[in-house]
Structure 1
């Protein structure tokens, strides 16, 4: 690890973890000091007709630390382990840093500041009240909180040093295979997300489904909101975790299990074929169907081998899949024969 990367990680630790958690703890301490003056239960949600949700005083504290602290820690864990998730058959050094990590640190500072601010304001509005139902509306303060989110996110970005340039692996030209004019070649592969990522997504889906059932059982009319979010997550999982990759005389086709996204690149449009190493978090800011910082697009589900195709118009498509070098060789052979 270089000194430049070490400085970037230290800045992220302070800006994206220590300071946000400190602000949340400070907000909790202030509210605890006010408890003798606060109603119990306290207002935690406002609707068009005023307060429509309450919680105990300690439940209010737990909500602040649980939601705010949970988001901050979750983002920090993603940054810490993103480049150490299971990789494909070809291993790649991971001692790097990225602009994505810097951005997530900045977002953590903004979120921590906003949540701490709204928590303290919500409690301040209730000081001296006997009944939480009499709490004034918090609406205007919500806009101030969003302003703090934007402002402190920008501040967090500039408080961190410029991210070290990610040293992406050099692309290797595609090889070729012997193929007579009367022979045909085809290659099939499956691009899958790392198992740990699938576990996280499926666990989130199961939790949302359980919460939806619980709200339906309670007879809450707003259950459809959770149901809709659950449906969207299910569609996302079905369309992003597994892709079928096919190389044949028609060109390259990458299609999800649900049929969309579905990318087709005919042989006549292909200008260059390469075998590359890809780090989704550092180069594309995440996993799935992505657009990279350098303009490349593609299906990047894990770190490692990838097939990269450059079209005649300059557009570049990437797909991470085991056996990418073989896929590149078959595609290059078919392109040469087609030409």
Structure 2
């Protein structure tokens, strides 16, 4: 089987099973459920939010389908081996295991209760849901298999950008992560569905996470006499700066977001870290600490050449860690 369809099938499978569990449970309990259902429970376990039985099942299936689609797209877009996607697959299986228990458990809690206001959902149910998520994630990890990918691709040769005496230069590019943008949009949409189908407060956390993801789905990368600066294009914070005094050498090389760093966003691996917005060309800095810092951005070779020139000239060395 071609690797890409196999990756997609392995990632989608747990969400399909969770959807089947929700639909099967609803079909079995349909005649024993009150209408509306109790669907939201605070720490006391006493119901304080309600929705129609059909709408609850529809929202549950929609949330599982959307999450399955997002994970499937992430798995499909990379050309790396299935083993290199272990963190993604384990997360997908853990998430589907948690929701695949929580949604049917909510239906069972409502069964044979005449008034939904009398439904109780004790907090130990959440512990059971987490207990289901952990082995499900382990199954995903095992199904992914070992990472058989080759060693990281070596960085290119360091280059210099010729500058005359007293001449100054700067370089800037904006890079957008379609993955983070899609995840943010999906979270906002899911939060809106929850707010409409259950109650406004239930969808607020997911909506906030989605908005943050959208705001941080792009960054502006700048190289100048101060070193390397990365900021969001819409808001000024958070800002990341690597001053020239911390840089030994700059090069460029292709980077695979999942294969090399296990995902998107700010990533930390053994001996290296980076802001990985997408797969492709990346600016790679060898720091004075011996570690590596990576930023994925177009035209990284020019950025590396300018940084090397500025480092050689000894320009802009104040220890600005802002």
In which range does the TM-score fall when normalised by the shorter chain? 0.7 to 0.9
Q: Does 1:275 align with 2:252?
A: yes
Cα gap change, 1:9 to 1:55, in 2 (>3 Å): same
Alpha-carbon distance between aligned partners in 1 of 2:15 and 2:290, rounded to the nearest angstrom? 42
Q: Aligned pair 1:188/2:171, yes or no?
A: yes
Which residue, out of 313, 318, 321, partners 2:289? 313
Q: Distance in 2 between matches of 1:283 and 1:145?
A: 31
| Aligned equivalent of 2:73, options 70, 77, 83 | 77
Q: What secondary structure, in the 3-state scheme, does the structure 2 residue paired with 1:50 have?
A: coil
Could you list the runs of 5+ residues in structure 2 that have no partner in the other structure? 316-322
Match of residue 158 from structure 1: 142
2:281 maps to 1:329: no
Q: CA separation in 1, counterparts of 2:259 and 2:124?
A: 38
Would you say the 8 A contact 1:189–1:321 is kept in 2? no
How far off its partner does 1:245 sit? 0.9
Which residue does 1:176 correspond to in 2?
160
Residue 25 (structure 1) shift = 0.8
- What is the alpha-carbon distance in structure 2 between the residues aligned to residue 207 and residue 69 of structure 1? 13
> 1:239·1:260 contact (CA, 8 Å) conserved in 2?
no
User: Structure 1 residues 42, 239: closer, same or farther in 2, change over 3 A?
Assistant: closer
- C-alpha separation between the residues in 2 aligned to 1:221 and 1:67? 16
How many residues align? The count is 311
2:263 paired with 1:286: yes
- CA gap 1:296/1:64 in 2 versus in 1, 3 angstroms: same
Whether 2:299 is the aligned partner of 1:304: answer no
Query: Is 1:63 aligned to 2:54, yes or no?
Result: no
CA distance in structure 2 between the aligned counterparts of 1:120 and 1:254, rounded to whole angstroms: 45
- Residue 38 of structure 2 corresponds to 43
Stretches of structure 1 that go unaligned for 5 or more consecutive residues are: 84-94
Deviation, structure 1 residue 297: 1.9
* Residue 89 (structure 1) aligns with: none
Contact 2:155 / 2:251 at 8 angstroms: preserved in 1? yes
Looking at structure 2, the residues matched to 9 and 294 of structure 1 have their Cα atoms a distance apart, in angstroms, of 31
Q: Report matched runs for 1:99-248 at 5 Å.
A: 101-165=85-149, 167-180=151-164, 182-194=165-177, 196-197=178-179, 200=182, 203=185, 207=189, 222=201, 226=204, 233-234=210-211, 237-248=214-225
Supply the distance in 2 between the matched residues of 1:325 and 1:251 (Cα, whole angstroms): 15
Provide the C-alpha distance between the structure 1 equivalents of 2:16 and 2:175, rounded to a whole number of angstroms.
35
Higher relative contact order (CA 8 A, sep 6+): 1
Could you say which residue in structure 1 is the equivalent of 2:24?
Answer: 29
Q: CA RMSD in A?
A: 3.4
Looking at structure 2, the residues matched to 239 and 60 of structure 1 have their Cα atoms a distance apart, in angstroms, of 31
Distance 2:92 2:109 in 1: 26
Aligned match of 2:81 in 93, 97, 104? Answer: 97
The answer to whether residue 314 in structure 2 is matched with residue 338 in structure 1 is: yes
Change (3 A) 1:247 1:63: same
| Secondary structure at the counterpart of residue 189 of structure 1 | strand
Provide closer, same or farther for how the CA distance between residues 100 and 131 of structure 1 changes in structure 2, counting only shifts above 3 A. farther
Instruction: Using structure 1 for the length normalisation, give the TM-score.
Output: 0.77
Instruction: Tell me the SS of whatever aligns to 1:299.
Output: strand
Question: For the structure 1 residues 116 and 176, does the alpha-carbon distance in structure 2 shift closer, same or farther, using more than 3 Å as the test?
Answer: closer
